[in-house]
Amino acid sequence: MSTDVAWTGIARPQRADARRNFDALLTAARAAFAEQGIDASLEDIARRAEVGIGTLYRNFPTRDALIEAVYVNEVDGLVVAADAVADLPAWDAFRSWLDSFFAYVGTKRVLIDSLNRDSAVMQNCRVVMYGAGEPLLHRAQADGVVRHDVSISDVLMMLAGIANAKMPDEQRARVIDIAVDGLRAR
């Protein structure tokens, strides 16, 4: 599956050295935002990426542009995760991708409040995300291991709700297992 639609409107460099800087900035920003929130210092992000602040601004002219690109990169990771598990048995592939989605939700929590949820980028990301998980769900349903009365939207909303609930990590892991077990065909 292609993630080009999610990257629409974000200028990804073509030259290898510029692409390395772009990717290093995304990695550094993801870590900084996770640790310090979306108000993390852009200078600190550039330093972590081992580039100058000018390189950061050349790639991401605003903080919002950087946050949006980090978010899109996370969605891109869900597509990569779906491709990586595609050859596993249907339940294992679906469950592995759900674990990737849950990890993604943890990252997006910091970013989502600062993003315009109605923007074209966010709508594109939703299409890409659903497109990554839906074939795995349909295959699991066709194999009879997942209930037929659920949609990918149902599943992702359920997991996002659990991810955003206030509870200790150990309890969250148990609740996720209970919820995912509820998806199994009986």
Could you tell me which CATH class the domain 64-181 is placed in?
A: mainly alpha
Phi, psi of 146 (to 5 degrees): -130, 145
Phi, psi of 3 (to 5 degrees): -105, 10
pLDDT tens for the chain, residues 1 to 186: 545 555 656 677 778 888 899 999 999 999 998 888 888 999 999 999 999 999 999 999 999 889 888 888 888 888 999 999 999 999 999 999 998 888 887 666 656 655 666 677 778 888 888 999 999 999 999 999 999 999 999 999 998 888 888 888 899 889 999 999 999 998
CATH 1.10.357.10, the chain: domain bounds: 64-181
Q: From the options 1.10.10.60, 3.20.20.70, 3.40.50.970, 2.60.40.10, give the CATH code of 12-61.
A: 1.10.10.60
Own/partner pairs, 150-154, CB within 8 angstroms, 24+ separation = 150/183
pLDDT at position 34? 84
The C-alpha atoms of residue 116 and residue 132 are separated, in whole angstroms, by 22
pLDDT at position 124? 83
**3-state SS class at 146:** strand
> What are the start-end ranges of the H helices in 37-89?
42-49, 53-59, 63-85
pLDDT at position 114? 59
Whose CA is closest to 17, among 67, 57, 51? 51
